[in-house]
Structure formats: C-alpha cells, structure tokens
C-alpha cells in the first residue's frame, strides 16, 4: 500500500514510499537518541537567524519556546515518534509546527538535514568523550586504591604466561593505570579535533543567506565552524576516531578482564571477586564464576565490530552525503553504550577485589623467579660479563631442577661447584621481597617507586 502524497518531500513526489521503503529509509528508531542535541542545534540556529535579520525576533522566540516544549515532552516520554517522518529532525519540526504553527516552517531556513545531522552527531559523540573520560578516571582511581594497598605485596611477573621475575601487586595495578591514562588522552585528543561545527554548511555548498556560523559554533560550545562545507556534511572521521580510541581502550579492558578470570581460578587463587561481581552455577554449588569479567571480555568484540563496520560504510563514498551514512549511528551508539557499561563494571570489580597475598607471594617464589637477580649479582659482585653470568645462572637453575628445589634452597657449597667465587651474600638477593625492593630504577617495581607513582597519579586525578 502506498500513500497518496508525501508532505515532507513536497511537490516533487506524487506518491509516498511503500511500507518496506519506509522501513529501510527511516532512522527514527535509533536517531531519536539525538533529540537533545537536535533541539540544542535548532535553538542556536533560530537565535542566529534572528540576530542576522533572516527571521523576526517574534518568530525566533516562538521557535525557542516551542522547542523547549518538544524537549520536555521527549524527556517525559510523552512524545510520539513517527516512522513516516523518517528521522529526529522531521519529528521535532512536525511537532513544533503543531505547537507554534507557521513560524516553525522558518526554522529550516539556511540549513539542511545534512549539516543538521552532522552537527547533532558531533555533539552526541563529544558528550560520549566526556562520559568516557569520567568513567576512565573512576577506573584509574579504583586501580590506584589497589596499588596503594598492595605496594609491597609480591607476586609473579609473567612473560609467555610463565613466571619471569617477582613484581609487586601495586606495580601490576599501575601498569593498567598507565594504559587507561593513555586512553583518556586519546579521547581528549579526539574530542579536541572533533570540536568544530558543521552547522551552516547546509546541504553541501553553504547558503546565500547572511548567516553567522561563528555565532552558532560558539553557542554550541564548538571552537569554530568547519572551513569547508563539503567536508562538513560528508565526513564521519570524528565518529571513527571515537571508535578507534574506544577499541584501544576496550582492548586494554579485555586484557585486564582476562587476568581477573585467570587470577580468580582455583589454579591461581591470586584474587577473589566480590559477590556483587560473581555468579554461581545452577548445578555445581562450589562454583564462583567471574561472569562480569567474562562479559566485559566478550563485549569488546562489539566495539571492535563497530569500528570495522563504520570504516566499511565510509570507505567508498564519493563526496558529499550519501544515504549510506545513515548507518553511522547505530554502530557508534552500541559501542559507546557497551564501553561505558564495561568501564563501570570494571571499576566496580577492581575496587571490590580481594588479593590473596599469601598465594601471590608463594607463586612469586616459584619457577626460579630470582634467576635474573642471581645473574645480576654475579655481574655486580664478581665482575662477570653478563653473558657469562647468564651461563652460570643457567647451570645453577639446572642443578636446582635436578634437586627439585628452588634457587634459595641450594647450599653455598652447591653453588660453589658451579663458580667457586660465589659467597654467602648471594642469598641476600634470592628472596622475592629482596628482589622487588632492589628494582629501584625509574619505572621499576620497588615498593617505594609504587607509592611515589600512586601519589603522583592521585595528584593528576585530583
């Protein structure tokens, strides 16, 4: 069934689209999320039209009041969205006309839905950058709490998921603080770059009306208007940059989530997730599943997918606007929602997590984790070239393996069979606590370093 006329498109089309075309063409099912940004842009545009004499002050005031009424209806859930009106822009304008009559028709002077949606979407993504920044700061604070509490707790540091050298729990937590700090910087940088206004670019070529784009840019918190009208309506690199930053941030979260899953297992017993962030089994009463961490690890795929999907949408589009670009929003909406959800859940898990200090230290002492300390001692105390020290240490590790013991459990006499100049003082570096305390180089794992970094980060986040 088709409609007899299409009021939105006017006289160019005698008949409206059928139901299938209406369904594929409409975006109101998802772009209604842009309502606040759309109304903010329209209010700024109307004020500018009045200031430049393009519309009267009376019409501008009627539009302003009418738009506030529409916004209040949407926020209260009293607004009826129409698929026939396609998108948030036409839904708002149609309702505005019902409220204020003829002046509503003057609102769209000197603009197009092309620059309107580009403006709305930039405003929305900008808001998400701010929300992500706050969520990342909360996660970093949770990690700092763990780092401060565990500045002296010794745990194994891994390479290849094999015990490598002892580190401190606090140092491990601070590694993620550094990662998430870089994520914050990426979002801040993306926000700065996207903070230019497309409004006034109109359909693609600008407008012959004497508009003031600086005025609307300032009113909406943009740094300046975009300098090229073709670019303003046709690019979505600001959304892609948000998704790229989100993907890197999500990757960092997934790594942390994976560690929480491993650490909470019976085989590791490094940490315990609180009841709030764990679930049980319907059949196995002993189970305590780190479901929140697992779900974060899985949700990351949706964020990666959104990045690839929007890249694919944009990769072959000639200038300027094509309807393909209607497919930009759902991907970004979903990625932003899941990123913020994952960040909030991760902050909660980290804050409530209990470290098993005894299990951490016990694991740190396995796998000949102080072998590097022994090699360093041979270089420092006996003057051996490091490669020779490495060879001597390897021989001592082989001896300990043969005796089914760890390096500190070898006797001095045993060690002297490999190198006669080894002295009793070697045992001062073989304990895991001595090992971490000695790593005082900048960026090292020593407890004093950890506490200094915690204080530095507290100052930054304050």
Active-site entry in 82, 265, 274, 281: 281
Q: How far apart are CA 232 and CA 203, in angstroms?
A: 10
For the residues of 196-227, what is the DSSP string, one character each?
EE-TT-TTTT--SS---HHHHHHHTT-SEE-S
Tokens of 122: 């930039």
Q: How far apart are CA 43 and CA 60, in angstroms?
A: 9
- The neighbour count for residue 32, using CB atoms within 10 Å, is 16
Active-site entry in 4, 160, 282, 441: 160
What SS3 class is residue 383?
Answer: coil
Note if 160 is an active site residue.
yes
Q: How far apart are CA 368 and CA 371, in angstroms?
A: 6
Residue 252: C-alpha distances to residues 41, 62, 190, 232, 301 (Å)? 35, 49, 18, 32, 13
Tokens of 111: 């603009």
Tokens of 394: 């390897």
Query: How many CA atoms, within 13 angstroms, populate the side-chain half-sphere of residue 234?
Result: 17
Long-range Cβ contact pairs of 407-411 (< 8 A, separation 24 or more):
407/368, 407/370, 407/371, 407/374, 408/365, 408/370
What SS3 class is residue 290?
Answer: coil
Q: How far apart are CA 359 and CA 269, in angstroms?
A: 6
Cα-Cα-Cα-Cα dihedral sign, residues 140, 145, 453, 253: negative
Cβ burial of 429 (10 Å; 0-12, 13-18, 19+) is buried
Closest CA to 142 of 371, 343, 394: 343
- The neighbour count for residue 327, using CB atoms within 10 Å, is 14
Helix (H) or strand (E) holding 363: helix 357-364
For the chain, state the CA radius of gyration.
31
Residue labelled with tokens 């580009």: 118
Instruction: Answer whether the bond into residue 320 is a cis peptide, omega within 30°.
Output: yes
What SS3 class is residue 175?
Answer: helix
Give catalytic residue positions: 160, 281
């Amino acid at each position: 069934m088709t409609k007899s006329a299409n009021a939105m498109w006017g006289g160019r089309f005698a008949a409206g689209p059928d139901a299938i075309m209406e369904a594929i063409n409409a975006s109101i099912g998802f772009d209604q999320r842009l309502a606040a940004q759309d109304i903010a842009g329209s209010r700024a545009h109307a004020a500018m039209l009045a200031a430049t004499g393009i519309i009267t002050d009376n019409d501008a005031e009627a539009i302003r009041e009418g738009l506030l009424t529409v916004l209040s209806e949407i926020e209260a859930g009293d607004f009826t969205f129409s698929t026939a009106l396609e998108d948030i822009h036409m839904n708002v304008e149609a309702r505005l006309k019902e409220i204020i009559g003829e002046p509503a028709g003057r609102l769209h002077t000197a603009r197009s839905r092309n620059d309107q949606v580009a403006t709305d979407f930039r405003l929305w993504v900008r808001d998400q950058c701010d929300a992500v920044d706050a969520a990342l700061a909360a996660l970093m604070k949770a990690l700092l709490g763990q780092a401060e509490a565990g500045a002296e707790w010794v745990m194994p540091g891994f390479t290849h998921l094999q015990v490598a050298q002892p580190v401190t729990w606090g140092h491990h937590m601070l590694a993620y603080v550094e990662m998430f700090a870089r994520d914050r910087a990426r979002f801040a940088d993306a926000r700065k770059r996207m903070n230019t206004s497309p409004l006034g670019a109109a359909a693609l070529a600008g407008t012959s009306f004497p508009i003031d784009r600086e005025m609307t840019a300032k009113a909406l918190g943009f740094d300046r208007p975009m300098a090229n009208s073709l670019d303003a309506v046709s690019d979505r690199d600001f959304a892609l940059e948000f998704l790229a930053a989100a993907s890197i941030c999500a990757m960092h979260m997934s790594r942390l989530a994976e560690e929480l899953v491993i650490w909470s297992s019976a085989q590791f017993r490094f940490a315990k997730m609180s009841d709030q962030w764990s679930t049980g089994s319907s059949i196995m009463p002993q189970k305590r599943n780190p479901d929140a961490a697992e779900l974060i690890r899985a949700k990351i795929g949706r964020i990666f997918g959104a990045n690839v999907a929007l890249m694919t949408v944009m990769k072959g589009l000639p200038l300027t606007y094509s309807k393909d670009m209607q497919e930009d929003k759902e991907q970004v909406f979903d990625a932003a929602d899941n990123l913020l959800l994952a960040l909030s859940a991760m902050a909660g898990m980290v804050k409530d997590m209990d470290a098993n200090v005894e299990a951490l230290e016990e694991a740190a002492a396995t796998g000949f984790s102080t072998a590097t300390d022994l090699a360093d001692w041979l270089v420092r105390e006996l003057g051996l070239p490091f490669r020779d020290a490495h060879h001597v240490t390897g021989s001592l590790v082989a001896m300990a393996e043969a005796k089914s013991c760890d390096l500190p459990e070898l006797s001095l006499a045993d060690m002297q069979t490999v190198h006669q100049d080894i002295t009793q003082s070697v045992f001062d570096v073989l304990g895991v606590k001595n090992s971490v305390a000695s790593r005082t180089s900048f960026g090292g794992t020593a407890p004093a370093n950890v506490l200094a970094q915690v204080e530095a980060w507290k100052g930054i986040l304050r």
